[in-house]
A and B are shown apart, each in its own frame.
Chain A
């Protein structure tokens, strides 16, 4: 299984972010997802929503480029998590900047729900720049749309377990994983949005998930300025994922 770690960039401030990010880079994991702050992170839960508001002021592409450079140096693949709502008015320019930053691609969680008719246009614009569009699915994504998005893209797939991040309603992990694996074939499927227990990680692994993505559960440590706790949490996750 693979481990993807999410941080909103640069939460809570560029200096504090760097300290946590540099420490994170010494740990074993696979993908880093950097949230591009926006004032309307609709599909994030309260915890991540808070980080967006706080990170807005400190955001700059030059600082982002530096973070991506460090991650690539460590051999991590790097993806932006960005709402289309945030860059729909200047897509070409924004995607050029994203490409220049060294990002491998982006997860764009609001395409299918709010900009459904633009899905092909966005996928093409990213492909032109050799940026991977990571399709984002949830239990509400219809089968036909999943199959179509899989055709339009060629990197891994992000599947949300929950209606938004960091909250938890009851889900049947077995049914969910089985459905997406059946539709996704050999494509790598990574699960996120609301993974907050080791028990959940173990169940995902048992059902054949290719990886997990974690974000909300890391925010606590940053809020409390607890680097040791942060590192330990990543270690524990890595333990469950790689054992």
Chain B
């Protein structure tokens, strides 16, 4: 899988879509009019990450050290023709999988964790902190920190912490300290626990805790999704897929991916924006940000420490039903992605838990890949799509953002 020749598929630059958007990206806005939360970013993000967040450059050179790390963690990830699934669906077109589960941490999250940790280490930082919902982002941060000689702390949403002990173990193995959120380690966590000692936690609360912890300890915070620089880093997915298709002499008609905060979907599709490929973003029915959310300025974190962004959102205080796809439980979606959905360039779909589990089973049985529950939502959309007569003969590419080998406790026998 990882031959020298393959390594050439990894792009040398990340792609930033902002200069190519159909209208300007609404800027970050302060939640508290008395203070500048944008200024506060200076204290919690590595400088280079912050520069990339607001850059006008279409391309950012990937540092050689990060390219080397990409090849060490399994990039380029494979592009697989899903012939068994095609046969099962009696689909007359082609289905390809871009398999981000093939990285060593099992999801796309490592694509941005590595550069962020690299830039932090480069700036003389010793320690980083972040939050995690399902555990993929925390795992990626833990490994990226270790590979760059940094100590790491992870606030894990309590309900996942309790239900996914193996995730915690991997993070510990990579050297991270993991705490359930809400925790007693931060003001916001203590405040939340006072009101409800059995609070199950949300991603918004965990983000608030991680940011507050970074401020309290003067360390740096790593961004898991939503922010523009994260999406820029994730563009390795789409750039690789584009090149892999080109080598095979194929052209994508349709791209399908799932959306939590929007980073895997955006990283996968944005490099194809100069083509006429149809794009479909799948959210969870239980977190109906596209059908019931509003396109508005909203907080990223529940405490409102970070600047507000304009996005499709269900409100930062939205508490989702504890569906098994933790990575899709976030209340908002990345601003650039939201803007392109508003413009109609990207279509949306919503898939419920029952349907995603069905897709999960079909996919596991036909392709042998146990997909992440999040990715199963995208697979369900693709299955629906490939069943329609008008889509026969098309070339469909699904981004399988991660594997689900650590999520099997949710599947009934």
Interface set of A (CB-CB < 8 Å, partner B): 42-43, 45-46, 49, 112-114, 116, 138-145, 162-164, 166-172, 175-176, 179-180
Contacts and interface: CB of A to CB of B under 8 A. Distances in A.
Given A42-B29, A163-B28, A116 B23 contact: yes
A229 to B, nearest CB: 23
Contacts of B21: 142
Given A46-B36, A143-B19, A172-B51, A138 B27 contact: yes
Contacts of B27: 43, 113, 138, 140, 163-164
Summarize B's interface: helix, strand, loop or mixed. loop
Given A138-B27, A142-B18, A163-B28, A172 B36 contact: no
B51 A171 contact: yes
Interface residues of B, number: 30
Contacts of B48: 170
A168 B36 contact: no
Summarize A's interface: helix, strand, loop or mixed. loop
A207 B22 CA distance: 28
Contacts of B23: 112, 116, 142, 145
A140 B42 contact: no
B55 A113 contact: no
7 contacts: A46-B35, A113-B26, A114-B26, A142-B24, A163-B38, A169-B54, A171-B55
B26 A142 contact: no
Contacts, number: 89
Given A46-B36, A49-B33, A142-B21, A176 B56 contact: yes
Interface of B: 18-30, 33-36, 38-39, 41-42, 47-48, 50-51, 53-57
A142 B53 contact: no
Contacts of B36: 45-46, 164, 166-167
Contacts of A167: 36, 38-39
Nearest to B336: A140
Question: Which of B34, B47, B50, B54 has the most chain A CB within a 10 Å cutoff?
Answer: B54
Contacts of B33: 46, 49
5 residue pairs, one from A and one from B, having the closest CB atoms: A139-B56, A170-B51, A167-B39, A140-B25, A112-B24
Contacts of B24: 112-113, 116, 138, 140-142, 145
A162 B48 CA distance: 15
B406 to A, nearest CB: 37
A116 B25 CA distance: 11
B194 to A, nearest CB: 30
B20 A142 contact: yes
B18 A140 contact: yes
A180 B325 CA distance: 43
Contacts of B38: 45, 163-164, 167, 169
Contacts of B53: 169
